[in-house]
Chain A
């Protein structure tokens, strides 16, 4: 079975700082990878996804993530964060066939200080 690890539980940054949130997964086969964001009081929204092709994927709101197959990683990055990026960020993986379930990491709470 697949699993996802997010090692940063709570990250606090000042506005304009650069962000990198770690995500590692374990699964022996081909995977689809996702980052979801949950703003306070709101539902899970897709930030970006990787299915195949270019391992550097760009998402909404200036976020990007890089799939490094050899490291089983899919880290989320943003060059300059804003106060409005304060949220919970979840990495998720699914097997790359069919309508597969998502397996989530424990999430990283990001707090941006103005």
Chain B
């Protein structure tokens, strides 16, 4: 069964550094999402992406965040200057069509020191 994959599984970085989290959605999927889960808290929506542009973004997704689909397979989340409070599990998700179910990747645990 096709799966959403994410790399790396764990990223440790220093505060102020840039990080790029990578996702490979399921190949025929068209809509892409990033969510995050701070330890002990609920999963929160960050951004959705369709047709090479952002469809919706949350208040969390400020100017420090950006997303890109640089080629036909990868979907990336960049944090330009990480803060301690960016430490969280980041999940990528994708769906094929607008009435489909979102499939989640295994997550990337980001630790900002």
Real complex partners, A and B? Answer: yes
The segment from A43-51, A66-74, A77-85 that touches chain B is A43-51
15 A-B pairs with CB atoms under 8 Å apart are A43-B106, A43-B107, A44-B104, A46-B103, A49-B101, A90-B42, A98-B98, A99-B55, A102-B35, A102-B43, A103-B45, A104-B44, A106-B41, A106-B42, A107-B42
Q: Mark B80-112, 1 if CB is under 8 A from A, else 0.
A: 000000000001010101110111111100000
Give the Cβ gap from A46 to chain B, nearest Cβ, in Å.
6
**B48 pairs with A99, CB closer than 8 A:** yes
**A99 pairs with B95, CB closer than 8 A:** yes
**B91 pairs with A99, CB closer than 8 A:** no
Top 7 nearest A-B pairs (CB, nearest first) are A44-B104, A43-B106, A99-B31, A104-B43, A101-B45, A106-B42, A99-B98
